[in-house]
Each structure stands twice: as C-alpha cells, then as structure tokens.
Structure 1
Amino acid sequence: MKLVKAIIPKSVRAPVRCALEIAYAKSTRSWTARSWMCDLRDAWDWVWGRHDPLTPPRKLVFGIGGGFEVGPRFVRHFRELAGLRPDEAVLDIGCGVGRMALPLTTYLSPAGRYEGFDIMRPNVGWCRGAITPRFPNFRFRHADIFNNEYNPLGKIRGREFRFPYADASFDFAFLTSVFTHMLPDEVAHYLSEIGRVLKPGGRCFATVYLLNDESNRLVEAGQSKFTLFPQEGFHRVHSQVVPEACVALDENWFDRATSAAGLSVDRPAYYGAWSGQEKWTDFQDIVVLRK
C-alpha cells in the first residue's frame, strides 16, 4: 500500500477517483461491468486507507439492489412503530449483507440477541466474518431456499422451510423487502413460522406491497412506481418471467393468512409511496403483526 501511494502522486489521485466514480455510474446496465467496477472502487479505498471493516463490499450491496443506507431509518421504525427494546431477542428474516444488523449493533444491548438468516451465501459469509467477531450476540445462518431472483439454485422451497429456531424464542422479528419477493403460498408458510418462533406478546415488523381498492386503482391508472400484472390467486407481479422480482399481495388475503398463523395486524397499516398515494410512511407498505 505504501509503495502504491509513493508511485501515484497526489496530483492524480483525485482525478483517478473521479474517473472511477464516473465509470461506476455508467456501468449500471451490465452486471459484469458493475461487478468489476465495485471491486476496483473497493480496492482504491483499501489502498488509500479508506476501507471500513464494517462496510460490506460494494458488489454484495449491489447484488441485493443497493439502498444500504436505509438501515438507521428502519431501526427508528422498529422502535417507534413496533416498540423494539434494546434487551430483546431479535430475528432478522432475510438479513442480506447486514443492512439492518449493522445499525442494530449500536442499539441492542449485550442483554439483547440478534439472529439472522438469508438465502444468499456470500452475504451471510461476510456478516459472519465481519460482524459476529465484533458483536458475539449477533449470529447469522445460510438457508438454501430457492428463489428465481436471488437464489435460483436453492434446494429448499420457501413453503417447506422450517426456521432453524425453537418455538417462542424471539420477542421481535422483522422482514424488510422479503415478502415483496415471495409468492402467496410461501408468504403464508413464513407467517406460520413467524407465529411459531415469536413469544406471546411478540411483534413482527414487515414491509409488503398491499393491494386494496386504493392501490389497485392507482396501479390501474398508471400512477404506481412500477407496473403490476394480475395473476391467478391473490397477487400481482411486475415480471411474468421472474415473478419473485416484485410481488404485491391482496390485503384481505394477507389479513386472513396472518390470522391463520395466530397473529393479528395493527390497523391501519402504514402505507407506502410505491402505489402513488400522497400520504405515506416509507416506500413500501409497513405492517406490524402481534402474537
């Protein structure tokens, strides 16, 4: 690193970094190009001593759609909308590359406990290597669940997956942008598993795209942020080829599935901006479920 710094004069460092930023911005249409540019930018930061060991590689962040900076905002939602306390046992369903885990490390106390699982093995590997050694009460697992969008070679179907945790073992569970990539039968099964692992009085915070009279009207009028095609059953999808890329669920169906899982839904929901409505809490709809 010192040798590289000695070779590259200060006068060219800023232009090179600027060129990398421009090249990265222009590489959005190609996964291969963006992947290489992520690696180059991470290498550049490492050379100049700007690498943060608790910042995941850009390639992993890009692989889940970015938006890594939203974590602190959602921790505020957890606290204000669902009453998360620092000493509680927390389950992160779809932990990704630590987008929510990292801000929770500064909120949960040593008496609290965090467990997270995800279907993308590299993301779980990074969390295990970077977060757990620094915060031993934060643990991560890989779940090899099939998903056309994120894990097309997965061996387990979501509707058959049993969460690897004991009954009534968590005070609080959450899913951020998980139900938005799952079909109804999988969502119903996950709700039953959430009901199983939550303690009596436990809460679950989830984001979802809910279809009701208002959101359906806005979707049909072309005012939503993306198109959604009706499917047989109780949902719409954005892509007929990869349905899990974006899934919206009928709100009445979601309420029935929640009730069947032994949970109740706080009403009204905290509706999001995705559908095009004027008053919203976040981009996706937010529901708080209670055991």
Structure 2
Amino acid sequence: MINQTLRRSRSLLKKAYQQTLDTGERLLGLRDALTPPRSMIFVGAGDYKEVGEHFRTLFIELGGLKPTDQVLDIGCGIGRMAVPLVNYLAPTARYEGFDIVKSGIDWCQQHITPRYPNFRFQLADVYNSHYQPTGRYPATEYQFPFPDAQFDFIFLTSVFTHMPKPELENYIGQIGRVLKPGGRCLATFFLLDEESRRLMPSPRSRYNLQYELDGRYVADLSDPDICTGFDKQYVLDLLQQKGFNPAPAFYPGTWCGRLEGKSFQDILVFQKPA
C-alpha cells in the first residue's frame, strides 16, 4: 500500500512537470504533429522518438520486418512504435494496432491514421489491474479482432511484462492463430534463468522479481501487474506447445544488471511453421 501511494505521488508530480513543458512547447511550436504531449505518454521511460527508432531497428535486424509486411502491434500504446514505421512500411503494407488504454488509441486515431490511412488503431476493452482496472473482458478470454493467418510480422513491446500466466498463454495462442504460415513474432519479456536470477539482487539490476505468484515472478505483491517475469524454460516450452518452431532466437536484455544487451528487456523472436 505504501509503495502504491508513493508511486501515485511521484506520478502526479511528474505529470504536473510534464504539463508545464507541454505548454511551453505548444506556445513555441516545438512539438511535431506525430509526437504526443509528454503528459499523455504512459508507455514507459525513455525518449518517445528514440525508443521507437531503437525498436524499428530491432524489428528489421532481429525480426526480419520488411516494408511490404502486414503488421500487428499488440499493446500499441500511444503510437511509440507506429510513428517510426510510417516512413518504413510501404503504402501497400498494413499496420494494425490495439491497446487497452483509450487515450492512447484516441490520439493515434486522430493524429496518425488521417495522415497514413494504412495505419489503423482500435481499443481492446480488456482488464488489467494496473493499466485498465475497469476493462470489461478478461485477457484470458480475449480473441484478437482479426481472422486467421492475417499477419507477416507481430510485435509486443512490454506487454508480457505486465501479464499473469493464463493471459500470456491465451495471447501466445492468439498470436499463432493470426500469424500467416512462416510469420514471425518479436516479443519482449523479463525471463528468469540461472544468469538473471544471480544478477537480480545486485545494485545494477533495475528490478528484483523476487516474489513467485501463480506461476510468474513479480517485484511488488501489492501491484503485481506493474512488473512481471516468467521462467525462461517455461516460455520456451509454451511456444513449442502452441505450435511455433523450436529454438526461437533469444537476445538477453540489461534489465537484470547485464553489462551488454540488444535492449533493456529480453527479446524472443519466434516463428510459425511455413
């Protein structure tokens, strides 16, 4: 309870500061049309543009994203991954994004889609204890709003880091359903293995996922969905059970105190059989 109160207080102070900066940028004309106000951004730390461009590079280099791909962004937030793709994906390509936070979807629909009609966004009215406590549908039962075999490339950035185990299992199954044969998925995780467990208690680690809770590992029992990790071998086994090719590519992140990594979170790239 104390942790939640402190987080709320910090969040309010941060928002007030950001609103002041937003006002100055608006008056001086310093923000471009495809960058949301700071006070609206809810998708994590880091510079909005820099993080998006970083992941665009990873999508291309690690995930094999092509300009002509049909793309699904699960947990698209307020367009941080979509914006750097508008000048990479061809007009004949298709981008679909969905998220559980209405303000992010509204902003994307108002600012991105009118300029790039092949970029579409929709709200998923799904419950999450941290991000959408009034959501109507449980994520364990949510069916992605697309027919089978629609997408060449799917990505999730910091989605599985906020999910309980049954929700993860449903989403992995849904990813397999909507991917085309041979399609790829790039997803970020906090994955626990011998190395990350050894490093987590160290001062260099950003998170110590020390509490086991219903098959996942969390940093804060009072707000478990704020930061969730899974046993690495469990996730690898799950992917194989759901029909993906064995031995997905694994790129360890720096979150637990590693000195080097492709990104902050761990990355898995897995593929549906052709």
Normalising to structure 1: TM-score of the pair? Answer: 0.86
For 2:3, the equivalent position in structure 1 comes to none
For 2:43, the equivalent position in structure 1 comes to 64
Distance in 1 (CA, whole Å) between partners of 2:57 and 2:121 is 22
Distance in 1 (CA, whole Å) between partners of 2:34 and 2:28 is 17
For 1:8, the equivalent position in structure 2 comes to none
Distance 1:225 1:282, change over 3 A: same
Residue pairs, 1:31-42, within 5 angstroms: 31-42=11-22
Higher RCO structure (Cα 8 Å, ≥6 apart): 2
Point out the structure with max Rg over C-alpha: 1
- Aligned partners of 2:251 and 2:266 also within 8 Å: yes
For 2:124, the equivalent position in structure 1 comes to 143
For 1:129, the equivalent position in structure 2 comes to 110
For 1:16, the equivalent position in structure 2 comes to none
- CA deviations 1:4-29 (Å, max 9, x no partner) are xxxxxxxxxxxxxxxxxxxxxxxx95
Distance in 2 (CA, whole Å) between partners of 1:134 and 1:266 is 40
For 2:95, the equivalent position in structure 1 comes to 114
**Residue 188 of structure 1 pairs with residue 169 of structure 2:** yes
Partner SS for 1:287: strand
Paired residues in the alignment total 263
Deviation, structure 1 residue 268? 4.8
- CA deviations 1:32-75 (Å, max 9, x no partner) are 333333233222222222231111121121x3323223011111
Distance in 2 (CA, whole Å) between partners of 1:274 and 1:36 is 28
**Residue 103 of structure 1 pairs with residue 103 of structure 2:** no
Tell me which amino acid in the other structure corresponds to 2:148. Answer: D
For 2:209, the equivalent position in structure 1 comes to 228
RMSD, aligned α-carbons: 1.7
Q: Which residues of structure 2 form unaligned runs of 5+? A: 1-7
- CA deviations 1:138-191 (Å, max 9, x no partner) are 000001111111111111111111000110000000000111111111111100
Deviation, structure 1 residue 266? 4.5
Residue pairs, 1:214-253, within 5 angstroms: 214-220=195-201, 224-253=205-234
**Residue 152 of structure 1 pairs with residue 123 of structure 2:** no
Deviation, structure 1 residue 84? 0.4
Q: Which residues of structure 1 form unaligned runs of 5+? A: 1-27
Q: Relative to structure 2, which stretch is displaced further, 190-199 or 264-273?
A: 264-273
Partner SS for 1:149: coil
How many percent identity over aligned positions? 44
Tell me which amino acid in the other structure corresponds to 1:284. Answer: Q
Q: Relative to structure 2, which stretch is displaced further, 75-84 or 253-262?
A: 253-262
Tell me which amino acid in the other structure corresponds to 2:106. Answer: G
Moved over 4 A (4+): 220-223, 265-268
Quick check: which one's helix share is greater? Answer: 1
